[in-house]
Structure 1
Amino acid sequence: MSSAVQTAGDRRHPARVATIGVVLALVGLNVADHVLAWNSLWLGPAGALALLAYARAAGLTWAQLGLARHTHVRGLRWAGAVIGVVALGYLAGILLPQTRTAFLDARYHLPPAGALMSAFVIIPVGTILLEEVAFRSVLWGLLSRHARMWQVLLASSALFGLWHVLPAMATAAGNQAIGAAVAGLGPFARYAVVGGTVVFTALGGVVAGELRRRSGSLLASMGMHWATNSLGVLFGLLAWRLAS
């Protein structure tokens, strides 16, 4: 083995160890949120800050984390474009009776004030902040040290999909369209919902990761994440009004 190859291997080993450490931390955060039911409004920011501190201690720069100042404007432009596209798609979805039921999620059958609180506070602070910092910032940066870009994209997206296993277990009971779609599967309905959610969110992770890669900014993927989740609540509010 040449000294150059050995040196490269020596550099990759600490990065792999640091990556494993982040994955284990994410498992703990996921259990704390969905099993122990800790308040995500403090768990999300606290977890995000801890992960960023860990990444900085591991030697990652702000640019490697997608948070460099010179990328903010480009990231916001990408985010704005994605938010516009998602908003148009959701609007078409609720205007069509055939697809409107997909927005009738019992978890978000809220009064207007509650929907606004969920869309602009609870979801961004309790969910998006932690997930984006975890998967498209810290994990992305650490993986980039010892893997090729396509491997970074696929690995971070697959882990993002698996992150949603626990919350997916309650989805069939809360969403009319999903519940009806799997009703004929009997005892296997929950497994179908969980598997479908993992695949769907992993694909979403691929799109978010590609936005992160192209823009160089975490703000781009955060914009997409906010659009798909928070706009879903706001348009869901409208869908419930149309269905009543």
Structure 2
Amino acid sequence: MLMTQDAARAARWRGFHAYLDVAVVVLVLIATNLIAHFTTVWASIATVPIAAVVLVALTRRRGLGWSELGLSPKQWKTGSIYALAAVGLVLAVIAIGALLPITRPFFMADRYATISAALVASMIVIPLQTVIPEELAFRGVLHGTLGRIYGARGVFAAGSLLFGLWHIASSLGLTANNTGFSNFLGGGLFGQVVGIVGAVIATAAAGFVFTWLRNRSGSLIAPIALHWSLNGLGALAAALVWHASTS
């Protein structure tokens, strides 16, 4: 009887700590987002990568295994196969979008107006400052901590929603800095609000797909590859569209 009570008490404590882990991860992500977008330039560069590493170290110390974080070497082969398929699909879609006159203006983002800027962003800034840290934080740490409590459905629902909300701050200037979105939605308050809501929905949907890849392959390699191809190849396509339109 005493052993049964001890086991029940231990189970309750494990459950409490699992919920506490999720709460800490979410609070760290909120703080990271605010610091990265509303403080200094250096904070915008370094905060997300540092926070991702800290979260991985913290959850490892809390008992999450490498497989729960999507970092197990056993899944590298499967993750690489899914990664190649994802990059190939995105490359085809981006190429079609950049070539079609109706969708080409949406690639005209001011920050990628030159080939050199797009190359630096695609090969250095996007993977190191955005893609890898975000995937470590969301499809790694958040995925692992949520999975211990809610299972796959909870991971898909909560993880995707939080990933969408994560992009509110970064979408504040969406219509002002993109010719296609500005022409389509307008540059006023209404256009800005619609742009933010659209960005949240789009990134939540992307988060759902990233989570599916993470679940399917068991590895972070696949969602990292898809995330990079959407951002990195998109940046290169934007530069090529700018170059073609001005030459």
Whether these two folds match at TM > 0.5 is yes
Which bracket does the TM-score occupy, shorter chain normalised? over 0.9
Query: Per-residue CA shift, 1:50-108, capped at 9, x if unaligned?
Result: 01111101110000000001111111111111001000001011111111011001121
Q: Which moved more, 1:96-105 or 1:35-44?
A: 35-44
SS in 2 for 1:120: helix
**Corresponding residue for residue 115 of structure 1:** 118
For these two proteins, the number of residue pairs brought into alignment is 241
**Corresponding residue for residue 35 of structure 1:** 38
| 2:111 and 2:117 in contact (8 A); partners too | no
Query: Per-residue CA shift, 1:7-61, capped at 9, x if unaligned?
Result: 6443221111111101111111111111013434433332221011111011100
- Aligned AA (1:121): I
SS in 1 for 2:55: helix
| 1:82 and 1:224 in contact (8 A); partners too | yes
- Aligned AA (1:157): S
RMSD: 1.7
**Corresponding residue for residue 218 of structure 1:** 220
- For the residues of structure 2 that align with 1:57 and 1:38, how far apart are their CA atoms? 31
- For the residues of structure 2 that align with 1:90 and 1:138, how far apart are their CA atoms? 30
- For the residues of structure 1 that align with 2:129 and 2:152, how far apart are their CA atoms? 29
**Structure 1 runs of 4+ with >6 Å offset:** 2-6
- For the residues of structure 1 that align with 2:159 and 2:34, how far apart are their CA atoms? 19
- Structure 2 portions without partners, runs of 5+: none
SS in 1 for 2:103: helix
Inter-CA distance 38–62: structure 2 relative to 1 (3 Å threshold): farther
Q: How does 1:81-100 map to 2 (within 5 A)?
A: 81-100=85-104
TM-score of the superposition, structure 2-length normalised? 0.92
Q: How does 1:63-212 map to 2 (within 5 A)?
A: 63-110=67-114, 112-183=115-186, 186-212=188-214
Identity over aligned pairs, percent: 36
- For the residues of structure 2 that align with 1:237 and 1:120, how far apart are their CA atoms? 14
**Corresponding residue for residue 234 of structure 1:** 236
Inter-CA distance 5–243: structure 2 relative to 1 (3 Å threshold): farther
2:50 counterpart (41, 46, 50): 46
TM-score of the superposition, structure 1-length normalised? 0.94
- For the residues of structure 2 that align with 1:207 and 1:201, how far apart are their CA atoms? 10
- Aligned AA (1:109): A
